[in-house]
Structure 1
């Protein structure tokens, strides 16, 4: 029972499923089977797709297209050996079929042989009448190889064939960004917009490039054109708000963020930006209101908890600040900066044991900033754990060997641990690095300022410098 020519793909799928449920056998054209198989594969119904391929090949055993669809499923299931055997047979029948080379490229790509995949796709290009999909696949293979220049050129080829393909446009700009060729991206987008003046995506991307370069007025214009092209373009309103923040126009920025909430459901990111704007305007109650809305909307947004932490830190309400930094750490416990904020808050609360632990976590997670070592050493000094303080400063000096303050600090801790020779050596080093900062030693370790040998070193250094 053949399907009539005017019956569409949906009718074919319904008849095929009806056939599977009964003992009836229907005849489908090879093209109908292709449509049925694509329908199932596109909807993730692989088992039904395989069934359609099996029946299709029973009715059309010589169909190259149906055999290629079988190869596609075999590749999807990582049955590369069987797929290769079938491709070898197909190539003897139709050696100029580009899809054979595309499928070979898919196999090589899944085996992480991306250069081999590229070679196969280049072969396919010589045979293809419609090369859009092949250039798109080439672009992805080049991305796998981190060859962003070639990837960019491949996606540009896609856009030359179909300027409405926004996926390719995004990929082109992604490549420009990775290459840090923001000027090149701006030139490309301006050229693209000459031909597509109402493309909101291109205006949006152009605005982001201007923003990256700090060209805020130009970025603002680009985002306005994106909004003119599509008044419901949430991303453009949000990015416009960020630009207005940079220009210090906080009320206008709030209005732009508020528009995103009016158009669609509220987002935690919009609430967060509005809160920051109100904080900069000195509207503390409104800032707090929007910060709390941020974490209510998305309790797992650590940046929301950090914003509240910083809000209370500025107010010197360290107990509340500590409560909220803990929430951020519970979400992202691998963030060294969160642990550092926690450490500083514990110092303000005079909870030195917890501060010591937080600084240790900070360093273990890779934060080696100068003040991290210095402040941690101060905490250990207050805890009378001078030996640990010495070890912390020695580690810090590996990163900052010419830092005079750490040398003065280390000299004082050597004195605390009765390592006089090392204290003298490090004090001399500190004076040579920066004698003007000797006041740092006298302020941190006043009990040693009148020790004879300490006074002698200061005197000798003063004479040598005159």
Structure 2
């Protein structure tokens, strides 16, 4: 006796279709489902994050509707999610045999190649997708992403612009374009593009926002604030614009205004650690250390991994001459970000103030290792050795600093002072000529460190000859 096959064409909600499908599987029956019903059942399992069950449905769907390409492309997507790439490619190859001009096949294949880092093959697939689709915007965006991964930001810009020609309101394209200009350090081109864009789309808050960011990077802070204000006029709840406007006000030393702007973000979203930290920095600049510390503490309460907030607490304590306590918080920041030279510098300075010169010296050594262009660090590092009466070492330190910063007059004048202090008068005078040739007006640095040299007639005569 032949097994009977039932046909179901459900119009009810997907959940009922799912129940009927599961009943069929349980009972080992054979029901026929329309392709759109199978689609609903597959989507149901995908939304429930049950890819294995969705794949099982697709097997039934393909057996009943062997020429429906969408089942194979969904199968490929699910295999991709499950990281079974050979199976994903197999499904796409079957789909291409059925429908060689289906753009979804090439788009998905391009995505897989991109995930594998096979960018040339990804582009080949995406260009084919572009030939066969009416929805070019999505494909153009994907091509731009691949060019970004290749490090070809110029080409990425071209495809992002093409994407915006298709849809002027594509905010992702606007933000990615700003990113590409930023990487290429072409803020002038970025400004020009967004100005032209705004002429056509004056109510695009994303364009005004990106224009503000470009002005900020170009240090055109007043214009940046105007651009952020336009973005906020169009979209009052645009928290990112408030935050960036606050950062721009900090650059203009308008700390009280910045605090108010940062606080406005709380009207539209929950306070976050970075905003609290920024407010803390403003209070710190205003030398309102208790208020600053309160906001830094609020920041670490939300995110204990925010190193700058721990560092900020340390700065406020250091200002109050609570050096031992500040050291504790600097170390907490350093534990999160061990390669930050600012944290090492703060630790070196705190140890110095606590008269622990050995630890201070070790920390300064780390600062110049991480940032050999920090002239102040070289000066302070050498000063610690000078206080320990190790003239040979402090001369070596400054000489190394000069290798890394040959045009820094501060280092040259300090070397002159150390050479004189070490009794190397001839070498000191040779070095003095070098220092004066770089910047004769900063000769006072020599006397700040060794005031007694102001009475040395030879030195004064050399200085006067350069100044004339």
Measured against the shorter chain, the TM-score band is 0.7 to 0.9
Conserved 8 A contact 2:9-2:33 = no
Query: What is residue 178 of structure 1 aligned with on the other side?
Result: 183
Conserved 8 A contact 1:271-1:291 = yes
Shift in Å, 1:173: 2.3
- Relative to structure 1, the CA distance from residue 3 to residue 221 in structure 2 (aligned partners, 3 Å threshold; closer, same or farther) is farther
Match of 1:294 among 291, 296, 299: 299
Q: Are 2:222 and 1:213 equivalent residues in the alignment?
A: no
- Relative to structure 1, the CA distance from residue 31 to residue 373 in structure 2 (aligned partners, 3 Å threshold; closer, same or farther) is same
Q: Are 2:233 and 1:231 equivalent residues in the alignment?
A: no
Aligned counterparts of 2:184 and 2:148: Cα–Cα separation in 1 = 12
Match of 1:254 among 255, 259, 277: 259
Q: Indicate the larger mover: 246-255 or 63-72.
A: 246-255
Query: What is residue 371 of structure 1 aligned with on the other side?
Result: 376
TM-score by length of 1: 0.82
Aligned counterparts of 1:403 and 1:164: Cα–Cα separation in 2 = 50
Match of 1:144 among 136, 140, 149: 149
Query: What is residue 308 of structure 1 aligned with on the other side?
Result: 313
Which digits, 9 at most, give the CA deviation of each residue in 1:310-338, with x for residues without a partner? 33334444333323222221221221121
- Relative to structure 1, the CA distance from residue 438 to residue 286 in structure 2 (aligned partners, 3 Å threshold; closer, same or farther) is closer
Match of 2:342 among 323, 337, 349: 337
Conserved 8 A contact 1:389-1:413 = yes
Q: Indicate the larger mover: 406-415 or 239-248.
A: 406-415
Which digits, 9 at most, give the CA deviation of each residue in 1:24-66, with x for residues without a partner? 5443323333444345446543222222222222222333222
Query: What is residue 432 of structure 1 aligned with on the other side?
Result: 433
Query: What is residue 167 of structure 1 aligned with on the other side?
Result: 172
Query: What is residue 32 of structure 2 aligned with on the other side?
Result: 27
Q: Any idea what SS the aligned residue of 1:334 has? A: coil
Structure-to-structure mapping, 1:319-358, within 5 angstroms: 319-358=324-363
Query: What is residue 129 of structure 1 aligned with on the other side?
Result: 134
Conserved 8 A contact 2:372-2:404 = no
TM-score by length of 2: 0.82
Query: What is residue 110 of structure 1 aligned with on the other side?
Result: 115
- Relative to structure 1, the CA distance from residue 260 to residue 57 in structure 2 (aligned partners, 3 Å threshold; closer, same or farther) is same
Query: What is residue 3 of structure 2 aligned with on the other side?
Result: none
Match of 2:385 among 340, 355, 380: 380
Shift in Å, 1:462: 8.2
- Relative to structure 1, the CA distance from residue 244 to residue 377 in structure 2 (aligned partners, 3 Å threshold; closer, same or farther) is closer
Conserved 8 A contact 1:268-1:294 = yes
- Relative to structure 1, the CA distance from residue 395 to residue 349 in structure 2 (aligned partners, 3 Å threshold; closer, same or farther) is same
Query: What is residue 46 of structure 1 aligned with on the other side?
Result: 51
Match of 2:68 among 41, 63, 66: 63
Q: How many residues get paired? A: 458
Shift in Å, 1:188: 3.8
Gaps of 5+ in 1: none
Gaps of 5+ in 2: 1-5
Q: Any idea what SS the aligned residue of 1:27 has? A: strand
- Relative to structure 1, the CA distance from residue 295 to residue 175 in structure 2 (aligned partners, 3 Å threshold; closer, same or farther) is same
Aligned counterparts of 1:458 and 1:321: Cα–Cα separation in 2 = 42
Q: Considering only aligned residues, what root-mean-square deviation do their CA atoms show, in Å?
A: 3.8
